Structure 1
Amino acid sequence: MKTQQITLKLTFFTFLLVSLFSVNAQAQSTVKASDIMKAMKNGEDIKYSNVTVSGTLDFTYMDEKAPDLPRRRSWWRNGGDNTVNELIKSKITFENVVFENDVIAYFHDDRSEYTFTADFEEDVVFKNCKFERDAMFKYSEFEREASFAGSTFKDESTFKYAEFSRLADFSNTTFDEHAIFKYTKFRNGVNLSSARFERSLDIKYTKVRGDFDINNLYVRWDIDSKYTDINGRKFSKNMLDN
C-alpha cells in the first residue's frame, strides 16, 4: 500500500513538473519586440531561436528620438542633415524566428522629413526566419557577418543602398514580393544560391566584389540589372544556370 502511494505521489509530481515546463515554454514562445529593443539599448547581445516576435522591431529607435529633434524648418534653414542614424553595437542572432510585425532599420517620416536609419557593428544573423510584414534595411551598413539564409520575406522588403563589408548570405531565401537591392554594395561577395524571387529582382546599380554565387537562383518575373557591376563586368542572364 505504501509503495502504491509513493508511486502515485511520484507520478503526480512528474505530471506537475511537465505541466509547469509546458506552460513556461508556451509563455516564452512569444517575445515582445520592445524587450529586445531594451536589451540592445543596454548593450546586450541578442540571441533567440524558435520564438515569435510580436510588435515592431525598430532598430532606428525613431519613436524615442523624434520628440527631441528640431522641426524641419530649423535643420533645413541651417543646412543640416535630415538623417538620424542609430549604431547597433549588439551581436544579433535570430534562428527560426517569426516576426509578426515590421522589422525596421529604415524609415522616412513624411511629416518631419527626417530619415531614420540603423547600422550594425557586429554580426547580424536572421537564419530560417519569417518576416510576415515589412523588412526595411535601406541604407544599412553591415560591418561584420550578415546572413539571412533560409529566411522568407512575405511582404515588402528593401536593401537599397545597403553596404555589406563581409560576405552577405542570402542563400535559400524566398521573397514573395519585389526584392530591391538597387545601389547595394557587396564588398566581399554575396551568396544568392537557391534564392527564390516570386516576383522581380532589382539589382540596378548594384556593385559586387568577390564571390557572386547565383547557383540555382530563381526569379519568376524579371531582373533589372542596368549598370550592375559584378567584379568590373556587367551582369548577364547567361550567368544563371536555370
Structure 2
Amino acid sequence: MKSKRISLLAAAFVLAFAFSVQAQSSLDAADILRKIDDKRQVDVRDAVIRGTLDFTELSNQQRMKSSRMANDEYKSRVEVPLTFRNCTFKGDVIAYKTLEKDGNQRRNWGNDQTLYTADFKEKVVFENCTFEGKTEFKYSDFDEIAVFNDNKFRYEANFKYANFREDARFEGTEFNDSANFKYADFRGAAFFTDARISDHADFKYAEFNDEVKFAKTRFGGSADFKYADFNRSGDFSNADFRNRPDFKYAQGRYKLESNF
C-alpha cells in the first residue's frame, strides 16, 4: 500500500511539472505570423509570446488608394481564425502603424508618412491575456465576432476608428491605461460588463448600432461619450464613474444611474 501511495504521488508530481512547463512555454511572434501567411488557423494557449506581433506585415499586404490623406497606405488581411487564451504578450501587438520616409515609426499620422493597417476576416479571440506592450487596432475591421474578455492592457488599448461588424466583447477586461474607442463603429452588440478602465475612457463619436452593456463597469478616469449614438439601448446599471462622465450631444436610448 505504501509503495502504491508513493507511485501515485510521483505521478501527480510528474503531471504538475508537465503542466508547469506547458504554462511557461515560449513562442516567437514571427512563428505566429508565418502560420497566418500559410493560412493555418492559430490557436495558442498558456504561452508567452515574445517579439512584436505585427499583423500589418503579412505576405498579402496590398497598397491601397488612401481615402484619408494623400499618403501611401498598405493593408494586410488576417484570413484565418485567431485564438489566444491565457497568453502573455511581451512585445507589442500591432494592427496599425505609421512610418516616416526614413523608416522610423511614429504614433500619429501626418505628412510624408505611410500608413499600415490590418483587417481580420475571421473570428478573433484574445481571452485572459496580458498585453505588456502596446496594442494598436486603429482602423481595423473585424468581420466576425471579436472577443477580448478578461484581458489586462498595461498601456493604452487603441481601437480608434475600429469597425466591429459582429459582436464585440470586452467583459471583465482591465485597462490599466486609456481605452480608446473614439469613432469606433459597433454594428453588433458591445459588451463591456465588469470592465475596469483606470485612465481615460474615450467613446466620443462611437456608433452603437445594437445593444451595449457597461453594467458594473468602473471608470477610474474621465469618461467621454460625447456625440456617441446609442441606436438600441445602453445599459449602465451599477456602473462606477469616479468622475462625472460627458454625454453631451449623445443620442439614442441609454440610462444612467445618478451615482456621480
Counterpart in 1 of 2:210?
188
Taking the TM superposition and a 5 Å limit, the aligned residue runs for 1:121-160 are 121-160=143-182
Counterpart in 2 of 1:18?
15
Instruction: From the superposition, tell whether residues 95 and 171 of structure 1 become closer, same or farther in structure 2 (CA, over 3 Å).
Output: farther
Q: 223, 234, 238: which one pairs with 1:216? A: 238
Displacement after TM superposition at 1:119 (Å): 1.3
Give me the whole-angstrom Cα distance separating, in 2, the residues matched to 1:98 and 1:241.
38
Q: Contact 1:33–1:55 at 8 Å: present in 2 too?
A: yes
Normalization by structure 1: what TM-score? 0.72
Count of equivalent residues: 225
Letter in 1 for 2:113: E
Q: Contact 1:105–1:140 at 8 Å: present in 2 too?
A: no
Give me the whole-angstrom Cα distance separating, in 2, the residues matched to 1:130 and 1:209.
29
Q: 205, 212, 225: which one pairs with 2:247? A: 225
2:21 equivalent to 1:27? no
Which has the greater radius of gyration?
1
Greater mean alpha carbon deviation, residues 144-153 or residues 9-18: 9-18
Taking the TM superposition and a 5 Å limit, the aligned residue runs for 1:67-86 are 80=70, 82-86=72-76
Instruction: From the superposition, tell whether residues 177 and 145 of structure 1 become closer, same or farther in structure 2 (CA, over 3 Å).
Output: same
Counterpart in 2 of 1:163?
185
Instruction: From the superposition, tell whether residues 40 and 132 of structure 1 become closer, same or farther in structure 2 (CA, over 3 Å).
Output: farther
1:85-140: per-residue Cα shift (whole Å, max 9, x none)? 44444444445555444444444446643344421112211111111123111111
Instruction: From the superposition, tell whether residues 153 and 98 of structure 1 become closer, same or farther in structure 2 (CA, over 3 Å).
Output: farther
Counterpart in 2 of 1:200?
222
- Gapped runs of 5+ residues in structure 2? 102-111, 118-139
Q: Contact 1:45–1:92 at 8 Å: present in 2 too?
A: yes
Counterpart in 2 of 1:113?
113
Counterpart in 1 of 2:257?
240
Higher strand share: 2
Give me the whole-angstrom Cα distance separating, in 2, the residues matched to 1:159 and 1:98.
23
Give me the whole-angstrom Cα distance separating, in 2, the residues matched to 1:108 and 1:173.
30
- Gapped runs of 5+ residues in structure 1? none
Determine helix, strand or coil for the equivalent of 2:148.
strand
Q: Contact 1:188–1:210 at 8 Å: present in 2 too?
A: yes
Displacement after TM superposition at 1:22 (Å): 3.6
Determine helix, strand or coil for the equivalent of 1:223.
coil
Determine helix, strand or coil for the equivalent of 2:24.
helix
Name the Cα RMSD after superposition. Answer: 3.7
Q: Contact 1:106–1:137 at 8 Å: present in 2 too?
A: no
1:39-63: per-residue Cα shift (whole Å, max 9, x none)? 444444444555554444444449x
Instruction: From the superposition, tell whether residues 24 and 135 of structure 1 become closer, same or farther in structure 2 (CA, over 3 Å).
Output: same
Instruction: From the superposition, tell whether residues 224 and 19 of structure 1 become closer, same or farther in structure 2 (CA, over 3 Å).
Output: closer
Letter in 2 for 1:14: A
Determine helix, strand or coil for the equivalent of 1:114.
strand
Identical-residue share of aligned pairs (%): 28
Give me the whole-angstrom Cα distance separating, in 1, the residues matched to 2:156 and 2:246.
21
